[in-house]
Amino acid sequence: MRVLRPERGIALLGTGVYLPERVVNNAELRAEGCPLEEAEIEALCGVLTRRRAAPHEATSDLALAAGRAALQDAGADPADVDRLVLATVSGDHPSPATACLVQHALGLRRVPAYDLAATCSGFLFGLDAAARALLTGEERVLVIAAEIRSRFVDPTDRATSALFGDGAGAALLGTGPTGRGLVALATATDGIGARSVWVPAGGSREPASQATVAAGRHRLQMDDGPQVYFEALEAMLAMAEAVLDAAGVRWSEVRRVVPHQANTRLVRRLAKLAGVPLDRVQLDVPHTGNLSSASVPVALHHARTGPGWFAGEPVLLVAAGAGHTAGAAVIIP
């Protein structure tokens, strides 16, 4: 792992989100086949409600809405964007990249637009790609993370059926004053965990067939939830400490922690181990569910537009996901 400390200022110009209209509570989830009792769902993952994409909505639709919202928030025009990075593991099609559809629908110029797959750490990996583009001469980069994980979850699976929601978040990054904005960033991968949380079929290793569909091999599988929990927590703490050290910021100085919204228990445990008061930690997961790569930008937007965001006071973004992937960033607004 290497920490990137940008030599040029990288500003967070605007953020936006899109959450589908349909809200699914735990009673409805039970009616759909979830094997967990409502009290079990709340105790195990702390999710009370989650959003579900409408039947006509695809991941590109969610990404488009979030991207438009971020541009509007920044007062920017599509013509201002030099690059589009879309983090997702639930794209519209295996090919082409969902970013191609979003680039066209947003009315961007013929700029680079591509998908990035880093599971729940996807937005942090997208920020890394954006920062490097800005440091090599580009002026505006739009990073979007969008997921419809509900279509890859078995509604009868105890490990995953209650956990995930659908949604999208976006951020427009641009050049800014040195020492402000994105001041430290790190990403890392340890492929030993490539099959800890995964969708086995549908790729070149196991192409789609009647047998794979019948066996549910196109659904998300998580065989050892407790182990995934501890590995994610350990990775998030390590990444956070690395970027805070690089930025010269102590945990006690962090005004707002915006973690991946894996589940309520993990977010609360992270805060306890880091010694951060819960009122400084963004907690969205009870009402959004786990949005995979979209959880951090959605939570970031809610933090940025809420009462706990102050100019000049450090904000920490941190995530870990399947693969294993992990990332963290320090932003000084």
Which residues are annotated as catalytic? 120, 260, 290
Contacts of residue 153, defined as CB under 8 A and 6 or more positions apart, other chains included, come to 160, 161, 163, 164, 219, 220
- Per the listing, tokens 């969205």 go with 284
Neighbours of 190 (CB within 10 A): 13
Helix (H/G/I), strand (E/B), else coil: 248: coil
Pairing mode, if any, of strands 140-148 and 83-87? parallel
- Per the listing, tokens 């659904």 go with 219
The beta-strand segments (E) located in 19-165 are 22-25, 49-52, 83-87, 113-116, 140-148
Written as six digits, the tokens of 31 are 């009616």
Give the rounded distance of the alpha carbon of 48 from its chain centre. 19
Q: Which of 190, 184, 74 is nearest to 139 (CA)?
A: 74
Contacts of residue 110, defined as CB under 8 A and 6 or more positions apart, other chains included, come to none
Neighbours of 114 (CB within 10 A): 15
